[in-house]
């Protein structure tokens, strides 16, 4: 896997690397063309088998002007540090990137992986998003 220079801690980079590995394994077995929730369930099984802690459909409060508006659910939070947003679409669009950015702001986390499982090769449908 390609190593990207980063200012993130090594332990977080290892978490990202291992999580991507789990997702690649799911994509190799299931391939493109299924519903997002099927991939999420399979990723959970793979993360669990790899001993990687995660929370599925984790809720975060959304506030506006000091008022709680609602709870926003995120597909997966891995290792309490990494947001995973799963898509199964023809192409990732800017709105998908904006959605992942919003999840980072709401959650207070700094790193997300946006993954499109409808890509022929998962790496082609993978976007790494860092909130600075």
The domain segmentation of the chain, as residue ranges, is: 10-130
DSSP string, 50-109: TT--EEEEEEEEEEETTEEEEEEEEEEEETTTEEEEEE-SSS--HHHHHHHHHHHHHHT-
- How confident is the model over 110-120, as pLDDT tens digits? 999 999 999 99
- How confident is the model over 51-78, as pLDDT tens digits? 999 999 999 999 999 999 999 999 999 9
* Predicted pLDDT at 1: 47
Tell me the β-bridge partners of 76: 56, 84
Architecture of the 10-130 domain: 3-Layer(aba) Sandwich (3.40)
* Predicted pLDDT at 91: 94
* Predicted pLDDT at 8: 84
pTM of the model: 0.91
DSSP label at 2? Answer: P
């Amino acid at each position: 896997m390609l190593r990207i220079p980063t200012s993130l801690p090594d332990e977080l980079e290892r978490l990202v690397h291992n999580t991507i590995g789990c997702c690649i394994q799911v994509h190799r077995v299931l391939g493109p063309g299924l519903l997002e929730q099927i991939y999420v369930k399979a990723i959970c099984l793979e993360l669990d088998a790899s001993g990687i802690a995660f929370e599925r459909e984790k809720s975060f409060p959304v506030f506006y002007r000091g008022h709680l508006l609602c709870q926003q659910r995120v597909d997966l939070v891995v290792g309490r540090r990494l947001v995973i947003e799963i898509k199964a679409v023809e192409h990732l669009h800017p709105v998908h990137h904006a959605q992942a950015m919003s999840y980072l702001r709401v959650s207070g986390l700094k790193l997300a992986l946006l993954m499109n499982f409808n890509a022929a090769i998962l790496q082609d449908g993978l976007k790494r998003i860092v909130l600075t």
